[in-house]
C-alpha cells in the first residue's frame, strides 16, 4: 500500500454539492481533495434546477461557466390535472432573489461545475473509490483505491460526503435510517420531443417544468423537463405495485401512461422515444445523524425526499454552502457545533420541502395549486418555496409550513 497522504478536507463525490463545497473551501485557502468514483460526464437524474441555486453557484464563482453552457432557461413551474392548468412564475414570488434558472442535462452540468472547480485549483481525482473510513479524534483515515485499483491511505481533518445516491458514509458507518415516506418508483427516459410551442394544441411553456397528474390517480404524476437541444426528460412516479400492473417493460409502461394523460399525450404526439427506459425505486432515504466532529453529509447522501419539486440539487447546494461556512470557521479557530450550525439550519429547508411533498401526495397541496381563484399573496409565498427559497423564515409558509398549508387547503376545498 502506498504511503499515507494527508489533506485538510476530503470530499467524496464531484456532483453539484461536492464541486461547490470544494470551490468554496478552496477560496478560503483550505486544502481539499475531491474523490470521484466515476468519470465525467455521467448520467444523473435531478435535471431541473431551482432559482435559489443561482446564488450559491455565483458564490462559488461558477455562474459565468454555467451561463455560457447554453442550458435551457427555466422561469417557473406548470401543473396540469385533467382540464385544469396553472403556472407559477418564479419572478413573481415572496422572497427576493433570482427568479430564473436552468433545465440541465446533469452529465453536462455536473462536468461544467467539476471542471470549473479544477480550473480554480481544486484537486479532483476521478475513478478513486472510498473503501473504508476510520474516524479518530481530530482526524479520519480513508482507505481509497485509485483508477489502477491500487489502494492508498488518505488522512483528513474532516470529510464531506457528497456521494449522492451512492451514500458512501451512510453505508460504511451504518448510518442508514428508513425514510418515513412511502416507497415510490420512477420510470424515465430522454425523448426527442418535436414540440412546437407556437403551434401546440394545448397550453405549454418550454421555459417551465411541467408536472402532470394522472387523470384517475392523483398520487401518480409525470415530469416533463425540456432541454435546449430539442429533447426532454420524461418520467412518471407512482407506487411500485400500481406500476407493476402495467407490465414489466419500463418503456412500454411509460408510453402507455403518457397516453393515459391527454394533455401530455397531445404535447408528445410526435416524440421519438429511445429503445429503453430506466427505473429507480425506494429512493427516499434518511440517516441517523447528518454530521459529527469527523464528517458531514451533503445533499442526497444525508436525506432525499422525492423528485416532485426538484428540491434535490437545491438541498445539495445549500448543504455545501452551509458546511463550507462551518468548516471555514472551524479552521479559523472558532468554536463550532455541527448540530447547531449545520444540521439544524439545513433541516429548516428540508422540513419545508417535506411538508410540501407530503401535502402533494395527501392532496392538500394539489387542492391549493389547482384552485381556480388563488389569492395572489398566498400564491407568491408558495411560489417562493417552489423556487427553492425554503429557508426564508420570513415567509409564513416556511415558518409554519404544516399549519399554513393545512389551513389554506381547507379553505380552498370549501
Tell me: pLDDT of 314 over 90.
Answer: yes
What is the grid cell recorded at 373? 381563484
Share of the chain above pLDDT 90, in %: 88
User: pLDDT tens-digit profile of 164-188?
Assistant: 888 999 999 999 887 778 889 999 9
**What residues contact 330, with CB distance under 8 A and at least 6 apart?**
158, 336
Tell me: pLDDT of 1 over 70.
Answer: no
Strands 295-297 and 84-89: unpaired
Tell me: pLDDT of 144 over 80.
Answer: yes
Cα–Cα distance, 42 to 65 (Å, whole number) = 19
How confident is the model over 125-154, as a mean pLDDT? Answer: 97
Strands 2-12 and 76-81: unpaired
Helix, strand counts (H, E) of the chain: 15, 18
pLDDT at 232: 97
Residue reference for cell 396553472: 86
User: pLDDT tens-digit profile of 283-300?
Assistant: 777 888 999 999 999 998
| HSE toward the beta carbon, residue 326, CA cutoff 13 A | 27
How confident is the model over 106-124, as a mean pLDDT? Answer: 98
304 secondary structure, DSSP code:
B
Share of the chain above pLDDT 70, in %: 99
Closest CA to 96 of 51, 60, 59, 50: 51
| Residue 327 banded pLDDT, cuts 50, 70, 90 | very high
Mean pLDDT of the chain: 94
The CATH architecture that domain 185-281 belongs to is: 2-Layer Sandwich (3.30)
Q: Provide the residue ranges of all domains of the chain, joining segments of one domain with +.
A: 2-74+96-178+284-350, 185-281
pTM (two decimals): 0.95
Higher pLDDT, 308 or 110: 110
Cα–Cα distance, 40 to 112 (Å, whole number) = 10
User: pLDDT tens-digit profile of 233-260?
Assistant: 999 999 999 999 999 999 999 999 999 9
Query: Is the CATH code 3.40.50.300 the one for domain 2-74+96-178+284-350?
Result: no
| Residue 151 banded pLDDT, cuts 50, 70, 90 | very high
User: pLDDT tens-digit profile of 184-203?
Assistant: 999 999 999 999 877 788 99
At how many degrees (to 10) do helices 106-119 and 16-27 cross?
Answer: 20
Cβ-count burial of 59 within 10 angstroms (0-12 exposed, 13-18 middle, 19+ buried)? Answer: middle
Amino acid at each position: 500500500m502506498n504511503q499515507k497522504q494527508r489533506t485538510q478536507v476530503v470530499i467524496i463525490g464531484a456532483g453539484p454539492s461536492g464541486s461547490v463545497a470544494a470551490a468554496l473551501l478552496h477560496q478560503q485557502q483550505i486544502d481539499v481533495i475531491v474523490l470521484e468514483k466515476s468519470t465525467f460526464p455521467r448520467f444523473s437524474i435531478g435535471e431541473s434546477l431551482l432559482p435559489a441555486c443561482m446564488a450559491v453557484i455565483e458564490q462559488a464563482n461558477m455562474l459565468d461557466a454555467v451561463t455560457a453552457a447554453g442550458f435551457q432557461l427555466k422561469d417557473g413551474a406548470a401543473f396540469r390535472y385533467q382540464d385544469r392548468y396553472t403556472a407559477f412564475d418564479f419572478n413573481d414570488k415572496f422572497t427576493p432573489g433570482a427568479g430564473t434558472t436552468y433545465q440541465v442535462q446533469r452529465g453536462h452540468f455536473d462536468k461544467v461545475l467539476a471542471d470549473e472547480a479544477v480550473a480554480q485549483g481544486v484537486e479532483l481525482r476521478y475513478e478513486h473509490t472510498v473503501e473504508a473510513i476510520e474516524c479518530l479524534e481530530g482526524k479520519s483515515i480513508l482507505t481509497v483505491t485509485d483508477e489502477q485499483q491500487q489502494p492508498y491511505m488518505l488522512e483528513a481533518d474532516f470529510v464531506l460526503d457528497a456521494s449522492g445516491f451512492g451514500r458512501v458514509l451512510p453505508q460504511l458507518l451504518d448510518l442508514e435510517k428508513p425514510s418515513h415516506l412511502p416507497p415510490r418508483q420512477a420510470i424515465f427516459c430522454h425523448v426527442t420531443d418535436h414540440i412546437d410551442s407556437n403551434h401546440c394544441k394545448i397550453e405549454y411553456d418550454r421555459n417551465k417544468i411541467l408536472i402532470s397528474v394522472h387523470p384517475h390517480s392523483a398520487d401518480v404524476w409525470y415530469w416533463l423537463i425540456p432541454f435546449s437541444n430539442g429533447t426532454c426528460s420524461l418520467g412518471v412516479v407512482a407506487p411500485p405495485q400500481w406500476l407493476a400492473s402495467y407490465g414489466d417493460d419500463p418503456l412500454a409502461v411509460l408510453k402507455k401512461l403518457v397516453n393515459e394523460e391527454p394533455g401530455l399525450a397531445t404535447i408528445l404526439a410526435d416524440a421519438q422515444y429511445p429503445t429503453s427506459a430506466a427505473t429507480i425505486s425506494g429512493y427516499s432515504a434518511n440517516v441517523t445523524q447528518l454530521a459529527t466532529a469527523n464528517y458531514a453529509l451533503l445533499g442526497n447522501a444525508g436525506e432525499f425526499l422525492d423528485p416532485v419539486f426538484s428540491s434535490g440539487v437545491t438541498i445539495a447546494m445549500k448543504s455545501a454552502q452551509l458546511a463550507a461556512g462551518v468548516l471555514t470557521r472551524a479552521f479559523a479557530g472558532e468554536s463550532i457545533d455541527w448540530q447547531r450550525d449545520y444540521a439544524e439550519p439545513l433541516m429548516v429547508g428540508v422540513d419545508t420541502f417535506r411538508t410540501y411533498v407530503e401535502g402533494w401526495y395527501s392532496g392538500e397541496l394539489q387542492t391549493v395549486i389547482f384552485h381556480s381563484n388563488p389569492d395572489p399573496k398566498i400564491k407568491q409565498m408558495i411560489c417562493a418555496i417552489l423556487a427553492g427559497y425554503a429557508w426564508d423564515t420570513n415567509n409564513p409558509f416556511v415558518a409554519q409550513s404544516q399549519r399554513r398549508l393545512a389551513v389554506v387547503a381547507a379553505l380552498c376545498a370549501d
